[in-house]
Amino acid sequence: MVPLDHVIGLSAILFAIGVLGVATRRNLIVIVMSIELMLNAANLAFVGFNRLWPGSSGAARFDGQVFVLMIIAVAAAEVAVGLGIVISMFRNRDSVNVDDASLLKW
């Protein structure tokens, strides 16, 4: 049996690694990849909890898995638009370092 405690623990660890990536890396593409990692960690938690409460025979509950499918769709859309923004930024400043995008910083 898969230990569900450890599944949720793994989800927390991956989320923390994603937060580390977003907070410390300066490359915009790596930041977007870390956001994807955080979304995946959330997906893992959803699937884990759905496995814990799958409903009964004839009345199976799929809330977690449907949520995961929607999150995958949303992540795909977000990556498409996000990378479009990255390309626009690269065209304007010739760099994807977020330290160079600090015009609005006081």
Partner 1 sequence: METPTVLFYVFAAGAVASALGMVLNLRNTVAGAMNLVATMVCLAGIYLLLEAYLVAVIQIMVYGGAIVVLFLFVVMLLNLRGDTFPPGRLRLAKVAAVLLVLAVVGRGLALLTRALPEPGPVPEGFGGYALLGVALYTDYVLLVEMASLLLLAAIVGALVLAKRRID
Query: Which secondary-structure segment (H or E) carries 59?
Result: strand 59-60
Of 36, 66, 48, nearest in space to 11 by CA: 48
Please, which of residues 10-29 interact with partner 1 by CB under 8 A? 10, 12-14, 16-18, 20-21, 23-27, 29
CB of 106 to partner 1, least distance (A): 19
CB of 2 to partner 1, least distance (A): 5
Look-up of token digits 């907070």: 23
Of 102, 98, 103, nearest in space to 28 by CA: 98
Q: Should residue 54 be labelled a site residue for partner 1 when binding is judged by CB under 8 A?
A: yes
Closer by beta carbon to partner 1, 79 or else 101: 79
